[in-house]
Chains A and B, each alone.
Chain A
Amino acid sequence: MKKTLLTICAAVALLAFVPFLAFETAAAKPAVINVYNWGQYISDGSDGLLDVNAAFTEATGIEVNYSTYESNESLYTKLKTGGSSYDVIIPSDYMIARLISEGMLQKLNYDNIPNYASIGESFKNTLYDPNNEYSVPYFWGTVGIIYNTRYVDTVTSWDALWDERYSGKILMFDNPRDAFAAAELALGIDVNTEDESDLRAAAELLAAQKPLVQSYVMDQVFDQMERAEAWIAPYYAGDFITMHRENPDLAFCFPEEGFNLYIDAMCIPTSSTNKEAAEAYINFMCSFEAAAANAAYTGYGSPVNGVAESLELTEYERGIAYPSDEILSKGVAYLTLSKEATQIMDSLWLDVRTDASTTSWVTYAVATAAVVIIAAVYLAYRSNKKRKRAAKRRADADGAR
């Protein structure tokens, strides 16, 4: 009885799969593109905004496999190590130039991207892609200092990140390019310097900052700043608007020494296997509805004509997301550094992040060695004693025999 019941159950369970199998084979397998973007950088349907990826699938039938990264460097690592293929990526200007120079991007067919026409003229013929061959701008933005007015005096300069009064409450970028730029601007050095002594000076300043830093973060900055777990952090202006809506105590500063002005643009890496679908995606992102939803969600500056004017922003927010030309004139773009300079920067950064010399490691070494030696001596002594005892016992037994 039980057995028959079991058989019936199994049969029913199997039957349940049949419709799916039939469906899978009947319908043509839909195209899928892999999109790799920054975290919190696309409208996902929250706040009553358009779910851009879902809308794209609805419009074209192409499915979107969406994943996110935290920094240009980790995107680069992921592309370089291979193993996964992406169809659309959205790196920043200097990283695009590096990817182009290393032959890691495909030339776009702009005939498939008619909406490119609505991109503002000032975002074309850029330094990183002078002939408009590889990229379509997604957002532009600035880097500044976010601080909590309840605990921090008005900030005007990068020096605030080195202010000992805020020790343990300072967050810092967890990527070399932005972190070095902050130090270089504080020192009055060009952010695009390739000079080794300049880079070393910046690294020294970052190392000096380390005891004051609470942690090195990227998107965790949202959570830490909104809850006032940290008080001061350099980050992207668009994200400040999101944070400010959660915690009105926060304020934003365009540092007087200058700040980074960047463009993030959509590209197709050479590993892409579905270029036309990827171009359709890029085209869709440049449509007014998608761009407006993304701009409203992220708070970043949209390069698509008409989007900025259509957004519902307070005067204060507009002043930060779309700053005046006077402020923008202090912005500097990151240029691609030579491979050597990048390598020096990477290794200096790693030294800053992993240098443990702030604590006296000799104490640890001595303590560890002591523990290991004591344990070893004790165990050796024990086993030796036991062996002797056993030998004696055996000798006694032999004697008795």
Chain B
Amino acid sequence: MRVRGLASPYLAWMSIFIILPLCAVVYYAFTDSVTGEFTLRNIVSIGNYWPILIKSIWLALVSSLICLILGYPVALAIARAKQSRQRFLILLVMLPMSMSFLLRTIAWVSLLEDTGIINNILGKFGISPLPLIRNNGAVVLGMVYNYLPYMILPVYTVLSHIDPSLIEAAKDLGCNRTQVFLKVILPLSVSGIISGVSMVFVPAVSTFYISKKLGGSGTTMIGDVIESQFKTAYNPNLGAAISLVLMVMVFICIGLMERFSGSEEREALM
């Protein structure tokens, strides 16, 4: 009881700064921008933005997948390293996070643009500027770069908690290294993979700054649409409706993932 009392400041914080704004989002999503009456028009008119929504989800999925492919071996290598070195390696992974995310994105812009550093160097060798920026690839690059630590950390945490005796047992029972990985390590790390994927996917699907800076006029993402509803078009109701739909979709994704990973964990306990 006493412990619960100590949590009350956060409860108050959460209800004022998370629950109440969420209620405001729901309220705006279902009211008309002019009359303030109840309407479903905002939700219906999201239909116009389906292509952008799908594209955002696709780019976020691709980024999560690339993060997984890049991040998993790193997490495994760190988890296998000597205890004393692990802390240092994790610090290295987290190092970029200590710099502002905006600065890192702007740094990519000056690297990639047509008159940027990379194309300048290429130009010295007589190579005409490559289209490195303002396309989907650049947006995915920006997201992978920014969100990679969010993949490595949870996977590492799970991998470093795998009981080494399980791996030894597998080896004793005649598994080769591939089999050890596929039958022991990978299944036991599924919960880490799933939380890593959702940690990357959720911010990636709603990003707007990266796509604005690294994307071109054709790579609008759903986050950009929401931003412009609030900032330039002055239609907060539609913006709220899109946010709400996005939020529901993200919750469904997380819920599905949790369900599957949950059953894995229960399995492991048995």
Interface residues, chain A, with chain B CB atoms under 8 Å away? 71, 73-74, 76-77, 80-81, 168, 174-176, 210-211, 213-216, 227-229, 346-347, 349-351, 353-354, 356-359, 361, 364-365, 367-368, 371-372, 376, 379-380, 382-383, 386-387, 390
Contact = CB atoms under 8 A, between A and B. Distances in A.
Contact of A350 (B61, B228, B256): B228
B87 interface: no
B234 A361 contact: no
Nearest to B263: A383
Given A213-B217, A214-B216, A390 B54 contact: no
B94 interface: no
Interface string B208-247: 0000000011101000110011111111100000000000
Contacts of A387: 263, 267
B180 interface: no
A273 to B, nearest CB: 24
Contacts of A357: 51
Contacts of A227: 115
A368 B58 contact: yes
B270 A390 contact: yes
A246 to B, nearest CB: 14
A229 B115 contact: yes
B38 interface: no
Interface of B: 48-52, 54-55, 57-58, 61, 65, 113-115, 131, 134, 216-218, 220, 224-225, 228-236, 256, 260, 263-264, 267, 270
Contacts of B50: 361
Contact of B55 (A349, A361, A376): A361
A228 B218 CA distance: 21
A383 B262 CA distance: 10
Main secondary structure of the interface of A (DSSP, over half): helix
Given A228-B115, A379-B260, A383-B260, 17 more contacts: A77-B232, A168-B131, A168-B134, A174-B232, A210-B217, A210-B218, A211-B218, A229-B114, A346-B234, A349-B232, A349-B233, A356-B51, A371-B61, A382-B264, A386-B263, A387-B267, A390-B270
A229 B54 contact: no
14 contacts: A73-B234, A74-B232, A228-B115, A346-B232, A349-B232, A350-B233, A354-B49, A356-B220, A361-B54, A364-B51, A365-B58, A371-B61, A376-B256, A379-B260
Contacts of A354: 49, 52, 220, 224-225, 228
B231 A74 contact: yes
Contact of B217 (A73, A214, A346): A214
Contacts of B233: 346-347, 349-350
A229 B114 CA distance: 6
B232 to A, nearest CB: 5
Given A74-B232, A367-B58, A356 B134 contact: no
B54 A215 contact: no
A285 to B, nearest CB: 27
A353 B48 CA distance: 13
A384 B181 CA distance: 21
B217 A80 contact: no
Contacts of A367: 58
A77 B224 contact: no
Contacts of A71: 232
A364 B134 contact: no
Contacts of B134: 168, 214-215
A67 to B, nearest CB: 15
B54 A365 contact: yes
A229 B256 contact: no
Contacts of A168: 131, 134, 216
B204 to A, nearest CB: 13
User: Sorted from nearest, which 10 A-B pairs have the closest CB atoms?
Assistant: A361-B51, A379-B260, A364-B58, A356-B51, A213-B217, A383-B263, A368-B58, A365-B54, A77-B234, A356-B52
Contacts of B216: 168, 214-215
A152 to B, nearest CB: 15
Given A168-B134, A354-B220, A386-B267, A368 B54 contact: yes
Contacts of B49: 354
A372 B61 CA distance: 9
Contacts of A211: 217-218
* Residue of A80, A359, A372, A379 with highest tally of chain B CB at under 10 A: A379
A353 B228 contact: yes
Contact of A383 (B65, B114, B264): B264
Contacts of B220: 353-354, 356
A221 to B, nearest CB: 15
Given A229-B114, A361-B55, A386-B267, A215 B217 contact: yes
B227 to A, nearest CB: 10
Nearest to B59: A364
Contact of A81 (B114, B236, B260): B236
Contacts of A214: 134, 216-217
A64 B77 CA distance: 55
Nearest to B113: A229
